[in-house]
Amino acid sequence: MNKRKFIAILSVVIAGLLWAEERPVISLVSKKGNVAGWNASDRRWEEIAAKSQLAVGSYLKTGKESEAVISFGKKAVVTLGSETLIKIRLVLFEQENLKHLQLESRRGRIWSAVEKLPTPEGKFEIETPNAVAGVRGTVFLVSYTPEEQASKISVISGEVGVSSRLVEGYVILKENMSTVVVANKPPISPQVLEEKERLEWEMWKQRIPFSEIGLVGAIAEINILQTEEAARKIREMAIATKGSAKVMRDFENIESAILLYYADTKNVPRRLRDLMENPGVSGWKGPYLGAGTNFMDPYGRPYQYKIMKTPKGKEYLELSTFGLIGAAGETRGEEKKIIFVDSLREKLEEKLTGARQP
């Protein structure tokens, strides 16, 4: 063999080796506790070592208090939680890009971070016995509880379409939203993501070896600011929800006090403090609310009180709160209650009529 021919063959071999090394692979990047794969030949579960390559068609399961991190060509990564069972049904790459991936989840929790798929035809799908979650680039959770036949899909960032496998029904989840599919029912309307799930992702994210996964690391870290912003919004929404419930209770109590004030004085208070301190009007028998009432909303600002008239001259009272002013300046939990003065007269007459009846 001459020298030129030998060099040509060697070049082909080296190129082949380099191509083989660069070819996308499915890998068990890291593990904690017991992670096993199904050996179809021997029909038994066998422990899988970290750094092992996995094949399409593989079944994997994690034991109690165990986890597994799986990379798909460094374009997607899934983290299996404790006592999770999956099947890798389909993985297709187009050159180095992920084209189509299908996972089947029989039980447990799967966190996924997916790089944006390069073409509209690209698919990343996780199926449970009763739901399908399909994405194009996002961070999300799919969990399935066999005992309850319940699938839950929660989105940290990006967008996920969720459908039922058994009946018609489809919802689109955007960031910080979730849905549930129970038995053979369609997905429920999107709900606000629970704070505990956002925190769970934050904890899991710390245990993923992004340095070994490559570009997917950017997916999980994308928007660290966006994630913090989302967390802030969730916290503010939770505060506003609780605050709104208290506000409405306060409004009911204030309305009852106004009715008593009106019954004694035949007038409405000019300001809320008149319910606690005699403004010098005839017939006042207050205070009409408990000691310590300060007319402050749950967010530390005074309730607003106005005496107003409709365009046709009908007098009404307006109680309101500005709600929670968030860190970014937006408001949440604004509430308002309208009390027509005529309604006070009607309620008072009803009480007086009831008192006169034998």
Q: Is 61 a residue whose pLDDT tops 90?
A: yes
Residue 170, strand partner residues:
163
User: Which carries the bigger pLDDT value, residue 263 or residue 18?
Assistant: 263
Residue 123: both structure tokens together: 């698919």
With cut-offs at 50, 70 and 90, classify the pLDDT of residue 45. very high
**Mean of the pLDDT values across residues 113-137?**
85
pLDDT band at 239 (very low <50, low <70, confident <90, very high): low
Q: What is the pTM of this model?
A: 0.56
Please state the separation of Cα 188 from the chain's center in Å: 13
pLDDT greater at residue 233 or residue 277: 277
Residue 29 CB contacts under 8 Å (≥ 6 apart), including other chains: 50, 51, 69, 70, 71, 77, 209, 212, 213
> pLDDT of 331-356, one tens digit each?
666 788 899 998 888 888 777 665 54
Question: Residue 20's pLDDT is what?
Answer: 41
Tally of helices (H runs) and strands (E runs) in the chain: 6, 21
Q: Which of 288, 200, 298 is nearest to 246 (CA)?
A: 298
Side chain identity at 61, as an amino acid letter?
K
| CATH match of 23-222 with 1.10.150.20 | no
Of all residues in the chain, what percent carry a pLDDT higher than 70? 80
Distance, in Å, from the CA atom of 204 to the CA atom of 197, rounded to the nearest integer, reads: 10
For 217-252, give one letter per residue: b (16+ CB within 10 A) or e.
bebbebbeeebeebbebbebbebbeebbeebeebbe
- Dihedral through CA 216, CA 130, CA 196, CA 193, nearest 10? 80
The answer to whether 207 and 50 have CB atoms below 8 angstroms apart is: no
3-state class of 194 per DSSP? Answer: coil
- CA–CA separation, 134 and 137 (whole Å): 10
- C-alpha to C-alpha distance for 148 and 107, rounded to whole angstroms: 11
Extended strands (E) in 8-145: 26-32, 35-39, 44-47, 59-62, 67-72, 76-80, 85-94, 97-114, 123-127, 131-135, 139-145
Cβ atoms of 158 and 140 within 8 Å: the answer is yes
Q: Are 201 and 224 in contact (CB under 8 A)?
A: no
What average pLDDT does range 161-184 have in this prediction? Answer: 89
- Tell me how far apart the alpha carbons of residues 113 and 157 are, in angstroms, rounded to a whole number: 9
pLDDT at residue 8 is higher than 80? no
Q: What is the Cα–Cα distance from 160 to 164, expressed in whole angstroms? A: 13
Query: What was the pLDDT predicted at 354?
Result: 58
d(CA 313, CA 323): 29
Give dist(CA 109, CA 78) in Å, integer: 10
Extract the tokens encoding 126: 């996780």
pLDDT tens for each residue of 173-183: 988 889 999 98
- 3 state SS of 217: helix
- Check residue 335 and give its pLDDT: 84
17 or 294: which carries more pLDDT confidence? 294
* Sign, CA torsion 202/117/84/53: negative
pLDDT classification of 302: cutoffs 50, 70, 90: very high
User: What are the φ/ψ torsions at residue 309 (nearest 5 degrees)?
Assistant: -135, 145
Report helix, strand or coil for 305: strand
In this structure, are residues 317 and 306 in contact, taking their beta carbons and an 8 Å threshold? yes
Q: Which amino acid is at 272?
A: L
- Going by the DSSP 8-state scheme, the letter that residue 317 receives in this structure is E
Question: Is the pLDDT reported for residue 288 higher than 90?
Answer: yes
Confidence of residue 217 (pLDDT cuts 50, 70, 90): very low
Domain regions of the chain by residue span: 23-222, 244-356
Average pLDDT for 125-151: 89
